[in-house]
């Protein structure tokens, strides 16, 4: 499916006929469509950024959790050694 840009909407020309649509009314509506389309594009961009940041943060948190787990394992092993030597 071909993607439509706000400029595609803005630059679209329609043929007029004897009993065609009111050109000004169509243009006003297309201005509203363009604005809504631009807003949706910006919202989509922001959501993609947020998702990327969330994934990045989750990945770094996972690394922190791994370090904490490794630290706990080392401490447990150390305690086991102390207990065994008593």
Q: How many CB atoms lie within 10 A of CB 33?
A: 14
Question: How many Å apart are CA 61 and CA 53, to the nearest integer?
Answer: 12
Question: How many Å apart are CA 65 and CA 80, to the nearest integer?
Answer: 22
Give the per-residue pLDDT at 41.
Answer: 93
| Better-predicted residue by pLDDT, 47 or 86 | 47
pTM of the model: 0.58
Mean pLDDT of 13-21: 83
Question: How many Å apart are CA 42 and CA 56, to the nearest integer?
Answer: 21
Give the per-residue pLDDT at 86.
Answer: 60
Residue 14 has pLDDT above 80, yes or no: yes
Q: What is the pLDDT of residues 32-78, one digit of tens each?
A: 999 999 999 999 999 999 998 888 877 767 777 878 888 888 888 88
- Give the residue from 6, 14, 12, 13 showing the smallest Cα distance to 32: 6
């Amino acid at each position: 499916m071909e993607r439509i840009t706000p400029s595609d909407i803005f630059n679209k020309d329609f043929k007029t006929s004897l009993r065609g649509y009111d050109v000004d009314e169509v243009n006003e509506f297309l201005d509203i469509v363009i604005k809504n389309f631009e807003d949706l594009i910006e919202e989509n961009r922001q959501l993609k950024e947020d998702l990327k940041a969330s994934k990045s943060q989750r990945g770094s948190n996972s690394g922190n959790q791994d370090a904490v787990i490794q630290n706990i394992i080392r401490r447990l092993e150390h305690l086991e050694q102390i207990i065994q030597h008593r």
